[in-house]
Amino acid sequence: MSSTDKRYATSIDLPTEDVFRNLQNACHFAVDIGGSLVKVAYCSKLHRRTSQVRDHKEDNNCIYQVLEEDGYTRRLHFIKFETKYIHQCLDFIRGHLMQSKEFMLEKKNIKATGGGAHKYKDQIIKTLGVQLDKEDEMECLINGSNFLLKNIPDEAFIYQRHGQSEYQFQGIHHDIFPYLLVNIGSGVSFVKVESETKYERIGGTSTGGGDILGTWISSYKKPSSLYAVTFDDLLELAEKGDHKKVDMLVRDIYGGEYSTIGLKGDIIASSFGKAARTDKENVPCYKDEDVARSLLLSISNDIGQLASLYCRLHQLKKIYFGGYFIRGHPLTMHTISFAINFWSKGEIQALFMRHEGYLGAIGAFLKGAEEEDTDRYTWGENFAGCSGLSSSNPLLDSRERSSTFDMLELDKLEKMLQPCSLLLDPNSYLPDTVDLTTDTAAREYWIDCFSNSVDKCIWIPFVRSLLDTSSHCLSDCLFTDPYSQVRKLVIVMPRKMPGSSVEYFKS
């Protein structure tokens, strides 16, 4: 199995309590079953313990009192794994789902989408003892996309492989419509999304991910040492290739650029054009990896050109890409971004989503949770339970986890977030902040500052450093805030007199 396979979805090492967290308290359930991957979505009721510090006016000997309250909130869980392990997962889910009284007594139905919803329907019904409601795949895809773009900060990003920063995150824009969603699987669908309920498939092409893998496999009768049998193996092989040994460039025809019509010399004039040319001994001067690279560029350029033309035809300014073809793979995003930039003449940039693999599962879940009024709440990403983006550097992309899943968890916030009413145009407002993902010098400076201060904070702790400590994991494990009193009081400890008394001042 390739390194790309391993970081995207691998086998399940049961028990999987760390992955299917809080499954025994699930109240809604949905699945998106594809040919290669299964995405599971469920909502759980999460026990929360909150604490408040109040003045104690009755007892003069007591400065304050801490009151604890028990409550419940909602958390959305999304897990992604390989379809071939669906049998083990269904058995595991059955053992834990039966403990959820709310689900077994009230719901007992699961929303499903994807082609595998038909294939595994009988097995799901038999194993879990539930009813399976099949939802429209395209509708789920659009609903999931809208939900992520409206709720998750920095969900969308621009990928620039050779830029100062690889990922340029876009933040949340309250006016996300209209946009073009390009879903690249075995084939390609182009969907114009105009509102929450209005969308239209405006075109498609059979030249997609299936075309790349099918062409590659059918071209080789006898496997070689570099023979790729999966799409991930093919992408890994393409990373090592040089398409210029296979493709015919403009300069190969004209000896340089064709300035009259605006073609630079390094532009591809004919994909695989050099493959028809061999030396006198008929020995090809290119390798397998060069062919793989050329094949990927050929398909990506065609998709990018079609996407740009559809945007121009329908006057759209934003293009989001998703599907099995993308999956956060750096080389794929690079080729798509280059194609969009070239064919749109720099007017449009390709946009990708961090969690695009969950669009169908999220959409199916929302169909089954309409009574929860998810639009009335704001959801925040629980980073402690989420997977990150892949890095183009293999050394930086090792995920230390006994069961390698991709996961996403969203917590319902106490209050719904709204743009400030005093802003004239929230979408054009630029906050006075420094984005450390784009400023390399500032990022390195602050990382050095934080790294150099770690030992000092350990050996010489002080109030401010305690207040800066994140309480996210403590809250997740139902611990109360240990720094409640110092948030209410300011503690002053003279350094030269370690034995002196501590003075308390009301903040």
271-312: pLDDT as tens digits: 999 987 765 555 568 898 999 999 999 999 999 999 999 999
Indicate if 146 and 246 belong to the same structural domain.
Answer: no
**pTM for the full predicted model:** 0.77
The answer, yes or no, to whether residue 11 has pLDDT greater than 50, is no
Q: Is 181 left (phi over 0), alpha (psi -120 to 50) or beta?
A: beta
Q: What is the pLDDT of residue 99?
A: 67
Span of 124-133, 289-298, 400-409 with lowest mean pLDDT: 400-409
- Would residue 473 count as lying in a domain? yes
pLDDT, the chain, mean: 78
The answer, yes or no, to whether residue 463 has pLDDT greater than 70, is no
State the Cα angle at 188 between 119 and 216, rounded to 5°. Answer: 85
- Would residue 302 count as lying in a domain? yes
- Would residue 180 count as lying in a domain? no
Indicate if 471 and 363 belong to the same structural domain.
Answer: no
Indicate if 373 and 317 belong to the same structural domain.
Answer: no
Indicate if 132 and 78 belong to the same structural domain.
Answer: yes
Indicate if 230 and 286 belong to the same structural domain.
Answer: yes
- Would residue 191 count as lying in a domain? no
User: Which residues lie closer than 8 Å to 2 by C-beta, 6 or more apart?
Assistant: 230, 232, 233, 236
Indicate if 457 and 329 belong to the same structural domain.
Answer: no
What are the structure tokens assigned to 182, written together?
Answer: 């390009």
Read off the DSSP letter of residue 263. Answer: B
Q: How many domains does the chain divide into?
A: 3
Angle between helices 330-343 and 288-314 (to 10 degrees): 50
Whether cis (ω within 30° of 0) applies to the bond prior to 15 is yes
Q: Report the amino acid identity of residue 482.
A: P
User: Which residues lie closer than 8 Å to 393 by C-beta, 6 or more apart?
Assistant: none
**Would you place residue 67 in the very low, low, confident or very high pLDDT band (cuts 50, 70, 90)?**
confident
Distance CA 154, CA 168 (A): 9
Indicate if 9 and 134 belong to the same structural domain.
Answer: yes
The answer, yes or no, to whether residue 253 has pLDDT greater than 90, is yes
Indicate if 323 and 450 belong to the same structural domain.
Answer: no
Q: What is the CATH number of the domain that holds 294?
A: 3.30.420.40
Q: What is the pLDDT of residue 180?
A: 98
Indicate if 286 and 324 belong to the same structural domain.
Answer: yes
Indicate if 221 and 117 belong to the same structural domain.
Answer: no
**Domain boundaries, position 213:** 204-348
- Would residue 33 count as lying in a domain? yes
- Digit-coded pLDDT (tens) for 432-462: 777 787 788 888 899 999 888 877 766 765 5
What average pLDDT score do residues 415-429 get? Answer: 80
- Would residue 197 count as lying in a domain? no
